[in-house]
Amino acid sequence: MERKHDVLISVCLPVRNGAERIASVVRSIRAQEHTELELIISDNASTDDTEGVCRELAAADERIRYFRQSENVGLLNNFIFAGRQARGTFFRWVGDDDWLSPHCLSRALAEFERDERLILVTMGVQFELENGVTETAPYHGTALASDDPVERLGEMLRLLNTSYALIDPLYGLMRRETIIPIPRRNMLREDQIFAAKMALAGPWGHVGEVLGRRGWRDESRKVLGRRLGVPAWTAHAATTLQGVELMRWVNTVDHLEPEQRRRARALVYRWYAGRQRRDWGNRGKKLARLAGVARA
């Protein structure tokens, strides 16, 4: 690896109508102690003053590269576009209402320097809910650092059925040449599918220290589906479609041995059964509440 301070890191910021929010996260990126960075802003055809704010920010710092989409390309496609503009050895995405501590990039980069196997380094994150409550949870697992891709997949699938606050892989620091080529399909829960694909791709590291803050919106499937631009009916089949895509990837990824592929399939089946039980349990609780309201 190059000397730590000479390694270029790309920070990719997709945004739509974020004029009132974006300056804060940009300030936190410009304040990083690791200064060898570029900030890529991809404006998804915003209809507010996002363009004006971004052009002013870019004029103030030559490390900022601003792109504007001529039309709304959708939430995921804007993320993908921003990532593909990255030129750094490592890159990460940020949201327009996020905040990074000054040590965020340098702490994660130190993990890559310590272990050159790693393709991704996650970190502690504080989630800010819409009601103003903040939430964080320590993660102490080690399975994602394993050399066994199936062990890593199993841990990621386990995390998908637990708290979102434990680990946030899509907002970690990533090795660009490994992560960018992984295909992404525009669908509900694509973020979870992409996390599983990355788990199969290589070992991860983790910094337990809380190094950032993210806004967390608990959006319904229908609302998120509209933001992604996917058919409305997919909201009613999200778990099944997620399972199908996970299994398709397990069956086609080329670096698994036959025995590993069998183990990976079994893990996906087990995850699917667990998720379906949870979904049905949630539906049952909702029906019970509705019945109670009706009786009252």
The continuous run of DSSP H or E covering 252 comes out as helix 238-252
Beta bridge partners of 213: 99, 126
Give per-residue pLDDT as tens, 75-130: 999 999 999 999 999 999 999 999 999 999 999 999 999 999 999 999 999 999 88
Class of residue 243 by CB neighbours under 10 A (exposed 0-12, middle 13-18, buried 19+):
buried
Out of 137-146, 154-163, 185-194, 249-258, which region has the weakest mean confidence (pLDDT)? Answer: 154-163
| Residue 265: other Cβ atoms inside 10 A | 16
Report d(CA 66, CA 22) in Å as an integer. Answer: 13
> What CATH homologous superfamily does 1-97 map to?
Spore Coat Polysaccharide Biosynthesis Protein SpsA; Chain A (3.90.550.10)
What is the predicted pLDDT for the residue at 3? 55
Structure tokens at 236: 């009613």
The answer to whether 174 and 12 are in contact (CB under 8 A) is no
What is the predicted pLDDT for the residue at 88? 98
Q: Over the chain, what is the mean pLDDT?
A: 93
Q: Where are the domains of the chain?
A: 1-97, 101-296
The pTM assigned to this predicted structure is 0.92
Give per-residue pLDDT as tens, 184-197: 999 999 999 999 99
